[in-house]
Amino acid sequence: MFGSHPAESPSRGMSNAVAVIGLGRFGGALALELMRNGTDVLGIDHSEATVQRFNGKLTSVVRADATDEEVLRELSVNEFDRAVVGIGSDIQASILTASRLVKFGCPGIWAKAITEPHAEILTQIGVQHVVNPESDMGTRAAHLIQHRILDFVPIDEGYALVRCTPPEPIQQRPMDLLNVRQRLGVSVVAVCRPGGQWEPIEPGTMLYDDDQILVTGPTRKVEHFSNLT
C-alpha cells in the first residue's frame, strides 16, 4: 500500500458497500454511480493522480498494488461481499487481482475484460460476472443500427429488452384486444408519454406514435416487432 486518502473504509460489516479496484473510465464511472445511489465505495488504484482525482468523491480511496494479497487484506478487501475489478490495460494485474478476490471467497465479483481470451480466463478462475464494455457496446449498437430501436438491453442469450416507438399496427387500440403476446411472442410492459414518466401497460392502454414503449421477448421477435409496418 503506497498511501491512502482517509475515510472510514467500508467492508463486509457494512451491507451496502463495494470495493472498486481500478478507477479508470469504467471503474471510475461505476464507483461514482454507486455513490450517487447511496452505496459506500472503497476505491483502489495504483496511480496517485487518479487517487487524488477521486479524493472526497468516494467513501474511501487508496493508492495501492491490488495484485498484492497482503495489501488487500490490510485494506479489509477480504471482508467485502461485493467487489469490482475495473483494471483493463494490464491484463496480468486484472487476472491476479481477480484471483485474490476469488481466493477470499468474495460472494459477488464483477470484472472488466478487454478481449475474449481475457474474459475466458476470468470466468475460468471463478469470477461470477465478466463485463466486456467494448464488445457489449458493439453488440448493442448493431441492434440499434439494424432496427427501429431506441435502446437495446440483452437479458440473456437470445432474450432482450428494447425501447422503441409503437409500431403503427398496434397504435390507437386497447392493448387487451391486440393479443400481442399470443400473436407476436413479445410483451409490451411499459409506456412513456411525451414529457411524462414510465407507466405499466394496462389492458385498456392505447398507444400513439409519439409514445415510447418497453418490450421484452426473444431477441429476433422483439426486433421483428419494432419493424412492424
Which strands, in side-by-side order, build the sheet including 159-164? 151-156, 159-164, 212-218, 187-192, 198-200
Count CB-CB contacts under 10 A for residue 110.
21
pLDDT at 79: 94
pLDDT at 115: 87
Q: State which CATH number among 3.40.50.720, 2.60.120.480, 3.40.50.11540, 2.60.120.10 fits the domain covering 17-131.
A: 3.40.50.720
Q: State which CATH number among 3.30.56.10, 3.90.1170.50, 3.30.70.1450, 3.40.30.10 fits the domain covering 137-227.
A: 3.30.70.1450
Residue pair 59/166 in contact by the 8 Å Cβ criterion: no
pLDDT at 161: 93
Would you give per-residue pLDDT tens digits along the chain (229 residues)? 544 444 445 544 445 799 999 999 999 999 999 999 999 999 999 999 999 999 999 999 999 999 999 999 999 999 999 999 999 789 999 999 999 999 999 999 999 998 889 999 999 999 999 988 777 777 777 777 766 889 988 888 889 999 999 999 999 999 999 999 999 999 999 999 999 999 999 999 999 999 999 999 999 999 999 988 7
* Amino acid at site 200: P
Which cell numbers in the block locate residue 112? 472488466
> Torsions phi, psi of 42, nearest 5?
-100, 115
Interior/surface letters 68-83, b for 16+ CB within 10 angstroms, e for the rest: ebebbeebebbbbbbb
